[in-house]
């Protein structure tokens, strides 16, 4: 973990759920919350990822994470997660919708299953989990939701159109929920993280050093982001008591210069 400018007990007695929390950025988010005093729950489709993620959180913070295998594409699975949280905690203070999937595929050749695989996780999954956790969040202290988007949500997403459409939907959903749930005392924001070299991103989006360098070349700040850096942005959004309906962009200025997916995608699929 990076050194944090936030006080160590900032999230004492707070209950935090992170979907996709067994690996990558989700695990960094959960670890950072635990390091700042929160009780954390991580959800993933993969039991092995949850076991390893909980061990990582324990080693880094001494905290014991609540874990549950969940498929955000399945309403009953999501409902079971909400039931567990109600039984174990009685309420929820922070929800981080981080579960995602992405891979290169041109629209002309994309199967409906490929489209659905991403949209059902990213957009529909965010809807399902948010809705299922609504009543729990209403019982929380400074309750809020942080949705993870991408900097192509408001521009083009060449060769990753399924992800772009889903992330754009999540951004719109974020702002809609911010208005609908303000009267319920629930804030809803989004984080647009920079490119983090997680294992999943390396395999699906930039599998070679040359492709990784192409991404770096599009970032004015001159380097990729780290998961720990992005975790601090999530913590800031979760701690704020007045910001809602906002999208915090923390991508090293990449969106100003233009995302690289058109160039990368052509190399992969052409």
Choosing from 152, 159, 242, 262, which is the catalytic residue?
152
- Residue 152: active-site member: yes
- The enclosing H or E element of 41 equals strand 39-44
Q: How far apart are CA 121 and CA 263, in angstroms?
A: 25
Neighbours of 100 (CB within 10 A): 24
Angstrom distance (rounded) from CA 154 to CA 168: 6
Contact 65, 41 (CB under 8 A): yes
CB proximity list for 71: less than 8 A, separation 6 or greater: 45, 77, 78
CA-CA-CA-CA torsion sign (253, 26, 147, 72): positive
Residues serving a catalytic function are: 152
């Amino acid at each position: 973990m990076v050194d944090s400018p936030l006080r160590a007990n900032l999230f004492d007695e707070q209950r935090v759920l992170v979907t996709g929390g067994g690996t990558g950025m989700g695990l960094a988010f959960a670890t950072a919350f635990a390091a700042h005093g929160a009780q954390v729950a991580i959800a993933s489709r993969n039991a092995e990822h949850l076991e390893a993620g909980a061990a990582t959180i324990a080693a880094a913070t001494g905290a014991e994470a609540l874990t549950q295998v969940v498929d955000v594409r399945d309403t009953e699975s999501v409902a079971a997660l909400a039931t567990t949280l109600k039984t174990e905690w009685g309420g929820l203070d922070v929800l981080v919708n981080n579960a995602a999937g992405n891979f290169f595929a041109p629209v002309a050749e994309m199967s409906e299953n490929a489209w659905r695989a991403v949209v059902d996780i990213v957009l529909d999954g965010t809807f399902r989990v948010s809705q299922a956790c609504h009543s729990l969040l209403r019982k929380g202290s400074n309750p809020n939701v942080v949705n993870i988007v991408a900097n192509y949500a408001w521009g083009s997403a060449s060769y990753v159109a399924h992800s772009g459409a889903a992330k754009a939907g999540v951004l719109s959903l974020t702002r809609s929920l911010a208005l609908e749930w303000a009267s319920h005392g629930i804030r809803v924001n989004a984080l647009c993280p920079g490119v983090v070299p997680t294992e999943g991103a390396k395999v699906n989006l930039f599998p070679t050093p040359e492709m990784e360098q192409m991404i770096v070349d599009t970032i004015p700040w001159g380097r990729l982001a780290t998961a720990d850096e992005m975790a601090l942005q999530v913590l800031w959004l979760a701690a704020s008591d007045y910001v809602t309906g906002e999208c915090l962009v923390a991508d090293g200025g990449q969106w100003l210069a233009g995302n690289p997916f058109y160039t990368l995608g052509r190399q992969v699929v052409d």
